Amino acid sequence: MLRRFGLITAIVTVLALAYPALAQEAEKSKSDSWSFYKLQINVREIDGSKTLNSRSYDLNQRAGEWGQLRVGSRIPIQTGSVEIGGKQRTDFQYLDIGLNIDSRVQDHNGEVSFDWRLNLSSAAPDPSPGGPVVRNVQSNGQTLLAIGKPVVMTTVDDLNSTHKFVFEVTATKVK
């Protein structure tokens, strides 16, 4: 009987000591589960209250990881010309223009934050004799997201016109 009591006491003691570690491990594995978000990024060019141009980009992203979106074109720029063996050879360098966005969604204490780095570039309609004039908008920032609702990332005035660029993101939790 005493032996059985000692065995039961030992088992209860081991379980009592192991329980906090098991609970902590369960909580850790719960917090290690991945969260995924669908991000819809809208870029609008407006003049006053009139929308001149609007583009929408969707991407899926895992919380805590940086994602990238690259959309654009490569413009050839003549850098030189040389005659070799009676033939004219023209050299070009290429310039990437378009939209580049690096983004990260993070879950923290029940809130969702959004970090971004964006670059929007375009070539002016009338190229100069030395090559195209490139217009550029850059912004870096952070904001809290309201799931399912559009949140303005940034608004930027175009220095060459009365236009304004509005960047918005809408996040939906996928998992």
State mean pLDDT over 91-115: 92
Which residue would you say has higher pLDDT here, 78 or 101?
Answer: 101
Kindly tell me if the per-residue pLDDT of 13 is higher than 70: no
Kindly tell me if the per-residue pLDDT of 105 is higher than 70: yes
pTM for the whole thing? 0.72
Nearest CA to 167 among 113, 118, 103? 118
State mean pLDDT over 80-97: 87
Q: What is the pLDDT of residues 68-78, one digit of tens each?
A: 999 999 988 88
The residues spanned by each domain of the chain are: 31-173
